[in-house]
Amino acid sequence: MLIYREKDNLIHKLHPFTILAFIGVVLMLTLVLSHPVYLLGLFVAVGIVIIAADNYKEWKVYLKYCSALIVLIIIFNAIFSRVGETVLYKSPRLPLLGEIRITLEALAFGAGMGVRLLIIISVFCLYTYAIHPDKVLKLFNKGGSRSVLIIILATRLFPLLMKDFYRITEVQRCRGVKLDTGTRWKRIRNLLPVISVLLQSCLERSLQLAESMYARGYGSGDRSYYNRELWRPRDYLILVGMSMCLVIGVFSTLIGWSNYNYYPRLSGITGREIVITSIMTLTLMIPAILNWGWNKWPLLRSRI
């Protein structure tokens, strides 16, 4: 039921902290940097890592929905923003909307925002498809063992209750309750008793769970935990690359290099941004590069 599927490549075998840190760094840089060249660089890096993780198929679906949203954002911004100077199209006076001026700057701004949204969605795609949720939760085990236990239990119970739900609807169907036909209102009304039964069966389950936990000595003393995840050289390599990228990104934000003015006129793109962006993209691409080496080069595979 979980949408995560383990795949045989380096990115799926990284320490969960490394990949979480990767996602965190990209998210933070996306929100902090506003220059479109930097954003494009980040997008390229994330895209290559997703493809290296063999999640291109899932990513495509995200991209499809996201691009529809981006087109909407660009259109809305172009229609409602009246700040730019380079006018591309001027409409006659319309009722309600008034005069519509579509400017190059507004289009560019919409596109810039769109790239930012694209990166955020892609990063969450990576999070959903490249890390097992349990591995993430285990990371927080030391600090918040109870909350983590609750989340893990609830995740485990989800498919179980789903099965319960189907079981109860099956029973209802056998009794002649129509759950698939009839008007929408009737279907909802027939669905209601199912929820009530589900509550009772799930509370019963909860009591059994508590008794079983109690019988196994939950809460009787300090709990023991073990950690199967290993830190390997690959994790260190990727973390070093990422911290370099983070430092460069934050530095260029503080110094003002990553600012970009869309309005009133688009500002130019200098060589500096392109150089910095390529360095940042390269450092962020390290997981993908290592993955390539991991596949092609048995010696490297044994070393990292």
Partner 1 sequence: MVYTMNNRLVLSVVIATALLLLGMVVVPENPLYGINWALASVLIIGMGILTFFWQFEKQEVNSKDIALIATMASLAAISRVPFAAIMGLQPTTFIVMITGYVFGARTGFMVGAVAALVSNFFLGQGPWTPWQMFSWGICGVIAALTSNCNRLNLISFTIITGLCGYLFGWIMNIWHWVGFVYPLNMTTFFATYLLSIPSDTIHAVGNIAFSILFGKPFYIILTRYKKKLTVKYQDLSN
- Give me the residues that bind partner 1 (CB under 8 A), please: 1-3, 28, 31-32, 34, 73, 77, 81, 109, 113, 117, 120-121, 124, 127-128, 133, 143-147, 149-151, 153-155, 157-158, 160-162, 165, 184, 188, 191-192, 195-196, 198-200, 202-203, 205-207, 209-210, 213-214, 218-219, 254
Partnered with residue 89 across adjacent β-strands are 102
* Least spacing, CB of residue 170 vs partner 1, in Å: 14
**Is the CB of 26 or the CB of 285 nearer to partner 1?**
26
* Least spacing, CB of residue 196 vs partner 1, in Å: 6
Largest CA distance in the chain: 78
Distance CA 39, CA 31 (A): 9
Q: Is 89 helix (H, G, I), strand (E, B) or coil?
A: strand
**Is the CB of 237 or the CB of 250 nearer to partner 1?**
250
**Is the CB of 61 or the CB of 274 nearer to partner 1?**
61
Q: What is the CA radius of gyration of the chain?
A: 26
* Least spacing, CB of residue 45 vs partner 1, in Å: 19
238's tokens: 């990727």
> CB atoms < 10 A from the CB of 109, how many?
23
* Least spacing, CB of residue 280 vs partner 1, in Å: 18
Residue 147's alpha-carbon distances to 137, 150, 154, 226, in angstroms, are 9, 5, 10, 18
**Is the CB of 117 or the CB of 300 nearer to partner 1?**
117
**Is the CB of 194 or the CB of 245 nearer to partner 1?**
194
Partnered with residue 101 across adjacent β-strands are 90
* Least spacing, CB of residue 289 vs partner 1, in Å: 27
CB neighbours of 112 closer than 8 A, spacing ≥ 6?
A: 34, 36, 39, 260, 262
* Least spacing, CB of residue 263 vs partner 1, in Å: 10
Which has the closest alpha carbon to 269: 257, 279, 280? 257
**Is the CB of 219 or the CB of 298 nearer to partner 1?**
219
Which has the closest alpha carbon to 90: 101, 103, 80, 79? 101
